[in-house]
A and B are shown apart, each in its own frame.
Chain A
Amino acid sequence: MTTRNLTREELEEGIKSLEQSDILRLKGIATTFTGGHEHEAEDLISEAICRVLEGKRESCSENMPLVYFLYGIMRSITYDKRKEYKRQIKLASDLKIEADHSESANIDNAHPQETDLIFAEGLKKLENLFSEDEDVFLLICYLVDEYSPAEIQNKEGWTQTHYNSVRRRLRRQWNQYRDNGERE
């Protein structure tokens, strides 16, 4: 059986009819992707809605919940921007090297470290934050090492329910940290 893609009109109608819980989900996801930056999160939601209605992105199948589709769009926008940011930093660094004609060996390796610092810093914060919650700490380590949820469950002997519970603790404590600051 083939599935149909939603038309622009159907997408618009679906977006206008989003329930409060889905609106809060979108805000939560956007805030997660933007590292807690309120305005960036709102811009991300607006940009995703515009992209969906422009119809330039992959279409939304009628079987897919709209909030999942919007999550995918926000994710693409976020990581495209991160890639572009890294590219620009590298370009700026390369141009600087060319202009300076100076010892490029030291500077040349500086940009990847510099750009990854933002993300490495987030990771370090997470590790500090969850050092007392062994399961969440393990989850973070596995995810950073690119293990899939199924592989993590298999390695640790976690059930799906246990995995979900650990992941929920990760989200809740990260939100708490983001909103209230570091645990002393």
Chain B
Amino acid sequence: MNKHGHHKLPKVIADEIAKDILEASDQEILEVSKDIYTDVDGEAEKIKALIMSAVLNSNKEKLKLAQKELQDRQLKNNQLGVLKLNIKTKKDVIKRAKDASSSLTLAARNNEAITDSDTDSYLMDLFELGVIDEDGNLKK
């Protein structure tokens, strides 16, 4: 703990001191730490907890980003013109896409498997695969 104010060192000096800390042996680091902290293990534990908390926060942030990405994707897909068509036209689009595309899997080609409630997610997949455009027209 600094008892006499804080003194930002000139960059070159701070760098050399930092390099010295990096290159010091583990034993020396522990010895020096004993001069600085009254409880070295406690200090190390405190910093470890800080590090783990930073990792946790970073993971939460990553999850939040993934969720936002998913929401954006859903929002984008919900704006597709093809999803505003009536159910018969939607099924026609799917049929045309299946007939035209050789890259779809056998399962995807199975007409019977697509129920009315599946059409939207199927159309979104076709759009994301680049088989149809946002209005349901086949892409070349």
Q: Which residues of A contact B (CB under 8 A)?
A: 12, 15-16, 18-21, 23-29, 32-38, 40, 42, 45-47, 49-50, 53-54, 67-68, 71, 75, 78-79, 82, 118-123, 125-126, 139-140, 143-144, 146, 149, 164, 167-168, 170-172, 174-176, 178-182
Q: Is B11 an interface residue (CB 8 A)?
A: yes
The answer, yes or no, to whether B113 is at the interface (CB within 8 Å) is no
Q: Is the interface of A mostly helix, strand, loop or mixed?
A: helix
Contacts of A68 in B (CB 8 A): 22
Q: A15-B55, A16-B55, A123-B10 are in contact. List 19 more A-B contacts (CB 8 A).
A: A12-B55, A21-B30, A23-B51, A27-B44, A29-B18, A36-B6, A42-B47, A45-B47, A45-B54, A75-B18, A119-B10, A146-B12, A167-B17, A167-B20, A168-B24, A170-B20, A174-B17, A175-B36, A178-B2
Closest to A21 in B: B26
Distance in angstroms from A154 CB to nearest chain B CB is 16
Q: A121-B7, A146-B12, A164-B23 are in contact. Are A23 and B47 (CB under 8 A)?
A: yes
- Of all chain B residues, which has the CB nearest A26? B47
Number of interface residues of B (CB under 8 A): 47
Ranked nearest first, the 10 interchain pairs of A and B with the lowest CB-CB distance are A36-B2, A49-B54, A21-B26, A35-B8, A53-B58, A122-B7, A35-B6, A46-B54, A143-B12, A181-B4
